Structure 1
Amino acid sequence: MRHLRVRSHFKSGRLGVRIMCPVSIPCSGGHLAEIQDAATNKFLQDKSRLGHANDNDYNYFIDLTDEAALDEWEWVQSATKPNFTNWGDNQPDHQGNDEHCVFLYAKDHYRWHDVDCDDHDLFICEEEEMNAGGNIIG
């Protein structure tokens, strides 16, 4: 069974294309979440909104990157191209030519925005089995 878990730790360090989770992200045996469909995306958007009420300062990294090739987005864990996306308007924009990771951006209703992998934000982990830590949200 698939579980999605919100972590309150801050992300730091770069997310490499073949790295499950950087050492600095305690996914406890899991990996950053892959959002495969609109229903999962809406569920995570709703949970993110509920968790932070009207505070738009909480963004959540997911497992998507284009570090291997510009605009060739793929999920890190499964090394597959996304069959569903929920980009914000004019996204991805590669602002500063250094935005190769993706997060759910609070100020855009948790739609997807490309972002510098060195940004410090929250993240959503996906786990096959239940592990300690974080809040289970699905």
Structure 2
Amino acid sequence: MTAREELPCAHFTVDKENISLWSKEPPSKMDWPLALRKPSTLCAALTFMTLVLLTSILLQGILYSWFLGTISDIRTNAQLMEGRVDNISTEGSEIKRNHGGLKAANIQIQRVNVSLNDVRSQLLRLQTGLEKASAGIQILTKSWEEVDALNAQIPELKKDLDKASALNAKVRGLQSSLENMDKSLRQQNDILQMVSQGWKYFKGNFYYFSRVPKTWYSAQQFCKSRNSHLTSVTSESEQEFLYKTAGGISHWIGLTKTGSEGDWYWVDDTPFNKVQSVRFWIPGEPNNVGNNEHCANIRAASLQSWNDDSCDNKLLFICKQPYIPSEP
């Protein structure tokens, strides 16, 4: 905005921050009349006051604009500060959360450190194991070298082994022969000892043919006192040996039964074969005469020589004892 004012003594122009003042070609002072010289001082004072007033107004306008801008900047800065405070609060919450996360992370780090220590220990153990394995490999390598050297000797060793095997076979054969001879000698010695005591040997058993007649029960007791029993008969060859040795003279054998209706059995617990024994009875025997013939004897010199008789009769008898090899 432009304002222009005109006075009798001066001219000036105010344009925003610029002030222009000039004279309108006033007459020189020497030409002024005396009456006009005093008002010039007043005019100068008014001009000065006017300039001061205008300057004040101008400064107020400038300062007002500056104050408005400053206030606006302060408000802007305050808003920024509020935003920063909010950000700081948010960041504080984040910091708290991050602090908790840091604690958890610290715990995890400690666990990881423990795990790393375990891994280090395991690595040390593995290293020790590898060192031992390396030493073992070296030993094995040396052993393989020795094995290779031995492999080179295998053909010769095989030949020696074949020779040794042949010799071993001969030795085993000789040893077996010696064992058989020793066994045979011991058996012969055992047999001779038993024979010298009146026993006879036949197919693994010793038989004693008595010379004194006894009842069947007394005969059995006598045999038991000699570690034997009245003889059983289990085969045709044994039956033939017994009746031939008895020579047709009656001898008690270990066959008996309990009562008239009882079954026959051997006193040495040999199973009684009723079907096989049929061919050893004298025809028509056993007949249990008087219901009192509960013991058997060999009466005839033939395969069919068995006879049932009263157990109280006194007859010769035959004891039987299995051969048991003596200790070497």
Q: What TM-score, normalized to structure 2?
A: 0.32
> 2:265 aligned to 74, 98, 116, which one?
74
* Letter matched to residue 295 of structure 2: C
Would the aligned equivalents of 1:87 and 1:112 in 2 still touch at CA under 8 Å?
A: yes
User: Larger Rg: 1 or 2?
Assistant: 2
Partner residue in 1 for 2:207? 4
> 1:92 aligned to 278, 286, 298, which one?
286
Deviation at 1:26, TM superposition (A): 4.5
Gaps of 5+ in 2: 1-203
State the alpha-carbon separation in 1 of the partners of residues 263 and 216 from structure 2. Answer: 21
Which aligned pairs between 1:97-108 and structure 2 lie closer than 5 A?
Answer: 97-106=291-300
1:32-64: CA deviation from partner (whole Å, max 9, x where unpaired)? 000101110011111122xxxxxx6x3011000
Q: Please give the secondary structure, in 2, of the residue aligned with 1:45.
A: helix
Would the aligned equivalents of 2:297 and 2:306 in 1 still touch at CA under 8 Å?
A: yes
State the alpha-carbon separation in 1 of the partners of residues 259 and 207 from structure 2. Answer: 26
Deviation at 1:14, TM superposition (A): 3.7
Which aligned pairs between 1:3-82 and structure 2 lie closer than 5 A?
Answer: 3-12=206-215, 14=217, 21-22=220-221, 25-27=222-224, 28-49=226-247, 58-67=249-258, 70=261, 72-78=263-269, 80-82=271-273
Question: Cα distance 1:48–1:100, how it changes in 2: closer, same or farther (>3 A)?
Answer: same
- The answer to whether residue 120 in structure 2 is matched with residue 120 in structure 1 is no
* Letter matched to residue 45 of structure 1: Y
Deviation at 1:29, TM superposition (A): 1.3
State the alpha-carbon separation in 1 of the partners of residues 319 and 236 from structure 2. Answer: 18
Task: Tell me the percent identity.
Answer: 23
Q: Please give the secondary structure, in 1, of the residue aligned with 2:220.
A: coil
Deviation at 1:101, TM superposition (A): 0.3
Deviation at 1:129, TM superposition (A): 4.7
Would the aligned equivalents of 2:253 and 2:318 in 1 still touch at CA under 8 Å?
A: yes
Would the aligned equivalents of 1:74 and 1:82 in 2 still touch at CA under 8 Å?
A: no
Q: Please give the secondary structure, in 2, of the residue aligned with 1:21.
A: helix
C-alpha RMSD of the superposition: 2.5
State the alpha-carbon separation in 1 of the partners of residues 271 and 260 from structure 2. Answer: 13
Question: Cα distance 1:64–1:41, how it changes in 2: closer, same or farther (>3 A)?
Answer: same
Q: What TM-score, normalized to structure 1?
A: 0.72
1:91-121: CA deviation from partner (whole Å, max 9, x where unpaired)? 0000010000000013x74700000000100
| Bigger relative contact order (CA 8 A; separation at least 6) | 1
* Alignment coverage as a number of residue pairs: 116
